Amino acid sequence: MPQISEKGKAAPASPIRKLVPYADEAKKKGRKVYHLNIGQPDIATPETMLNAIHNYPDKVIEYSHSAGNISYRKKLVEYYSRYNIHLTPDDIIVTTGGSEAILFAFQSCLNPGDSIIIPEPFYANYIGFAVNAGIKIVPIPSSIESGFALPPIADFEKTIIQNVNKGVLKGIMVCNPNNPTGYLYSKAELETLRDIALKYDLYLFADEVYREFCYDGKQHFSVMQLEGLEQHAILFDSVSKRYSACGVRVGCLISKNKEVMAAAMKFAQARLSPPSLGQVAAEAAVDTPEDYFTDVVKEYTLRRNIVADAINKMEGAFCPKPAGAFYIVARLPIDNGDTFCRWLLEEFEYNNQTVMMAPASGFYSDPKFGTDEVRISYVLNAEDLHAAMEVLAVALKQYPGRKK
Amino acid sequence: MPQISEKGKAAPASPIRKLVPYADEAKKKGRKVYHLNIGQPDIATPETMLNAIHNYPDKVIEYSHSAGNISYRKKLVEYYSRYNIHLTPDDIIVTTGGSEAILFAFQSCLNPGDSIIIPEPFYANYIGFAVNAGIKIVPIPSSIESGFALPPIADFEKTIIQNVNKGVLKGIMVCNPNNPTGYLYSKAELETLRDIALKYDLYLFADEVYREFCYDGKQHFSVMQLEGLEQHAILFDSVSKRYSACGVRVGCLISKNKEVMAAAMKFAQARLSPPSLGQVAAEAAVDTPEDYFTDVVKEYTLRRNIVADAINKMEGAFCPKPAGAFYIVARLPIDNGDTFCRWLLEEFEYNNQTVMMAPASGFYSDPKFGTDEVRISYVLNAEDLHAAMEVLAVALKQYPGRKK
């Protein structure tokens, strides 16, 4: 039998999905499982998108242009201008979700063996994309005590100098607002990153798929707004979270760097076309009324407060109250997040209910970090979140591996 | 400015799409351009699929399972059983088009530096996928004189032994029916490939996205029907051509090899989900009435005959009459296919019409091969094909680079 590849062995299983069999078992026992583990919002997809699907006009569902329909790219230019991001359609390649944008960028910018710096904890699937491209992620730790703010500039420079000297460091990547921490990077932090990127001639990759999800009156600031960084900034975006339409699989890769875009375009042509149905929905979505987002932000602020306030009342537990996305990383008084999350599904119940969370270890470059942390997605409604927090509080009292 | 990657430089531009700017110019001059260059059929997508889209029931367009909806995978099991291919849902990972199935398989089965054998000419985008995975394609020439049949077994063994000794040869890949040649491999040819794959412990990758397009009463035989090859056979499939629904971006990766599927699943999880809207359409498509295909096969047979008969009447031109897909590779009395195809768009017109074809050089591992060949897609209706062949005949008489 032929052997599988080294990459096939090295790719990590999803930390978000690996507990699914235990959740299935719990449900078979008749237990209500509150899913705090997933990034699939319960918010309705806007009518604009559903109507576009229901009224799909064509008789043949054809390939689109490999870079995406020009009509959609023009609408995206309009969308980004609302955020003071000034683009032309040529700066945009429509991709199959944000994931494909990351894959295209890694393939186009980085050689196997190259490395990029990412503040950790970071979105677990970045590891899979890095394995795919044969590159290495060099983590710089951010701390729960500082709310997972950008690590001190000194940490970056130390790590950069070590790796630049080896000739392999090619970029820095941030997720803003952050998955899993919810941290919203400030304009000043991004300007710091710009200065580093320019000083050491590094790409600055930014995953901004949670752009709309900013709370407490804070504004999102994009890498594409950084002056002087036009040749270094690479933006990954997606409509999945923005319009609660994860299944349309429409994202985009954005850069003013024409060489990068020309290279990415060759990979885009090889796979022919992003999804046509999704693009029709995504194009219509740009005309979604502004109050859709006002309502969504209000709802997520409420949910975040429910979770953060409840966690911080639990003895020995702590979490920041992040200003973006819909995730919270919480430190719990437990021996091990993996064990705890599995115990919740396999052994625990409270009034025939339990909760499912993502152990935070999967969001660190080395699973020995974040062992007493979990990621909570607040994608359930307020009532369910209250109930889930009650369940979690009881569970923490009963858990045999509770820290004294 | 940071440098782009070596892969970004090495990836080839699409030979099918690179002439597009010249076609656009011709159209601006008011010329009718017959598109014989593309694989986008004009056949209507079945009502089953369009109805499924128009009646999309959900309020939230959610992610599907990373391996695809279980309801769709069960329907696929039913679909394949009609072709005597016996699967379980676990043998199937739904992908974003056939392209992603190839990428997952290359990532899961092959290490950078490994090589696979492909009879040439071959589908141009395989080169892009190979660059993506850092692997090498070792071509084995098939000849237009033999209708592009499987090259002699002796050619395979010679090439295999050379490469196996280097420790890098890991597989053989075929496209059946073939793009670009239209050749339909026989059961006997596939059994030959099986014997070689087993003898040298190689993967046998098969791209069978044109399965339904077989003519002259011939039947398709799949790698998944080869007894004893369960651990070596990897199938790539897609609904794009089957239902004239290229834009839904739904394909699948199929294998009985559980290690390969487990590795591929990790890459599938990293990108979260294949398109949900496309899957709903593709699931409905499995219930498309059989006469849809009867009509389609009749129509393509007619079209193939129009093109092949016309070419073979042109002085100095020759093409086989292939039994599958909807492509023909023709040898023309010309100095160079790239120059000729560009000349057709830039300089030639006949009654204000011209034709666009894909130079065959892009389908060879080295562009010095196939220089007097073109690939013709017969995806236009009979009337347009007759007109296009008349235009081509006139063009061949006038072309300054015509071979004496």
pLDDT in tens, B277-323: 999 999 999 999 999 999 999 999 999 999 999 999 999 999 999 99
Arithmetic mean of pLDDT, A220-240: 97
Interface test with B, best of A1, A3, A5, A250 (most B CBs within 10 A): A5
Average pLDDT over residues A284-302: 95
Same domain? A239 vs A315: no
pLDDT in tens, B79-94: 999 999 999 999 999 9
User: pLDDT confidence of B180, banded at 50, 70, 90?
Assistant: very high
pLDDT attached to residue A379: 92
- Asked if B8's CB is within 8 angstroms of A107's CB, the reply is yes
Q: How far apart are the first and last CA of chain B?
A: 51
Q: How far does the CA of residue A176 sit from the closest CA of chain B (Å)?
A: 19
Q: What does pLDDT average to over chain B?
A: 95
Q: At residue B74, does pLDDT exceed 80?
A: yes
Angle, to 10 degrees, between the axis of helix B47-54 and the axis of helix B276-285? 140
Query: Could you tell me the CATH number of the domain that includes residue A186?
Result: 3.40.640.10
Task: Evaluate whether residue B144 is within a structural domain.
Answer: yes
Q: Is the pLDDT of residue B164 over 90?
A: no
Do the domain assignments include residue B155? yes
Answer whether residue B404 is part of any domain.
no
Of A53, A64, A107, the CB nearest to B5: A107
Task: Residue A379: give the domain boundaries.
Answer: 6-44+291-398
Distance, in Å, from the CA atom of A118 to the CA atom of A102, rounded to the nearest integer, reads 14
Give the mean model confidence (pLDDT) for residues B26-46: 91
- A348-384: pLDDT as tens digits: 999 999 999 999 999 998 888 999 999 999 999 999 9
Q: What pLDDT band is residue B367 in, cutting at 50, 70 and 90? A: confident
CATH number of the domain within which A350 lies: 3.90.1150.10
**Contact (CB<8Å) B41/A50:** no
Residue B75 shares a structural domain with residue B218: yes
Last residue of a domain, one of B235, B251, B285: B285
Assigned domain for A50 exists: no
Q: Are residues A156 and A211 in the same domain?
A: yes
Per-residue pLDDT tens over the stretch B232-280: 999 999 999 999 999 999 999 999 999 999 999 999 999 999 999 999 9
Which residues in chain A are contacts of B112 at CB distance < 8 A? 112, 134
On whether both B167 and B256 belong to a single domain, the answer is yes
Name, in order, each residue with C-beta under 8 angstroms of B33's C-beta and a sequence gap of 6 or more.
B23, B26, B27, B345, B353, B354, B355, B356
Question: Within this chain, do residues A30 and A171 fall inside the same structural domain, yes or no?
Answer: no
Q: Are residues B171 and B319 in the same domain?
A: no
* Residue B151 distance to chain A (closest CA, Å): 24
Q: Does B18 have pLDDT greater than 80?
A: no
d(C-alpha A329, C-alpha A208), whole Å: 19
Last residue in a domain, options B252, B285, B318: B285
pLDDT value of residue B387: 98
Q: Residue A95's pLDDT is what? A: 98
Q: Indicate whether B39 pLDDT > 90.
A: no
* Confidence (pLDDT) at A20: 86
What's the pLDDT at B218? 96
HEC profile for chain B? CCCCCHHHHHCCCCCCCCCHHHHHHHHHCCCEEEECCCCCCCCCCCHHHHHHHHCCCCCCCCCCCCCCCHHHHHHHHHHHHCCCCCCCHHHEEEECHHHHHHHHHHHHHCCCCCEEEEEECCCCHHHHHHHHHCCEEEEEECCHHHCCCCCCHHHHHHHHHHHHHCCCEEEEEEECCCCCCCCCCCHHHHHHHHHHHHHHCCEEEEECCCCCCECCCCCCCCHHHCCCCCCCEEEEEECCCCCCCHHHCCEEEEECCHHHHHHHHHHHHHCCCCCHHHHHHHHHHCCCCHHHHHHHHHHHHHHHHHHHHHHHHCCCCECCCCCECCEEEEECCECCHHHHHHHHHHCCCECCEEEECEEHHHHCCCCCCCCCEEEEECCCCHHHHHHHHHHHHHHHHHCCCECC
Instruction: Answer yes or no: do A8 and B108 touch at CB < 8 A.
Output: yes
Among A265, A285, A305, give the residue marking a domain's end. A285
pLDDT above 70 as % of chain A? 100
B-chain residues within 8 Å CB-CB of A233?
none
pLDDT digits (tens, 9 = 90+) for A179-209: 999 999 999 999 999 999 999 999 999 999 9
Mean pLDDT of B157-184: 91
What was the pLDDT predicted at A14? 78
pLDDT of residue B41: 85
Give me the pLDDT at residue B95, please.
98
Among chain B residues, CA nearest to A259: B4
What value does the mean pLDDT take over residues A260-277? 95
Q: Do A65 and A37 lie in a common domain?
A: no
pLDDT band with cut points at 50, 70 and 90 for residue A154: confident
Instruction: Give the best residue of A266, A292, A296, A380 to mutate against chain B (max B CB count within 10 A).
Output: A266
What local confidence, expressed as pLDDT, does residue A89 receive? 97
For residue B389, pLDDT over 90 is answered with: yes
Q: Judge if A238 and A178 occupy the same domain.
A: yes
pLDDT at A403 exceeding the cut of 80? yes
pLDDT at A391: 98
Residue A144: inside a domain, yes or no?
A: yes
> How many domains are there within chain B?
2
CB contact under 8 A, A125 and B270: yes
Interval A2-14 mean pLDDT: 90
Q: B372 with B308, same domain?
A: yes
Residue A18: pLDDT over 80: no
List the single residue in A7, A59, A245 with the smallest CB-CB distance to B44.
A59
Residues A179 and A222 in one domain: yes
- Interface pTM (ipTM) of the complex? 0.94
Enumerate the residues of chain A whose CB falls inside 8 A of the CB of residue B23.
none
- Identify the band that residue A247 occupies on the pLDDT scale cut at 50, 70 and 90: very high
Q: Give the percent of chain B with pLDDT over 90.
A: 89
* Chain A residues touching residue B109 (CB < 8 angstroms): 2, 4-5, 8
Q: What's the average model confidence in pLDDT over B6-33?
A: 89
pLDDT of residue A158: 87
Q: What is the pLDDT of residues A310-335, one digit of tens each?
A: 999 999 999 999 999 999 999 999 99
Question: Which pLDDT band holds residue A157 (cuts at 50, 70, 90)?
Answer: confident
Q: Is residue A128 part of a domain?
A: yes
Asked whether residue B403 is domain-assigned, the answer is no
**Shared-domain flag, residues B34 and B174:** no
The partner residue sitting opposite B107, judged by closest CB among A8, A13, A269, is A8
Q: Is the pLDDT of residue A286 over 90?
A: yes
Same domain assignment for residues A103 and A198:
yes
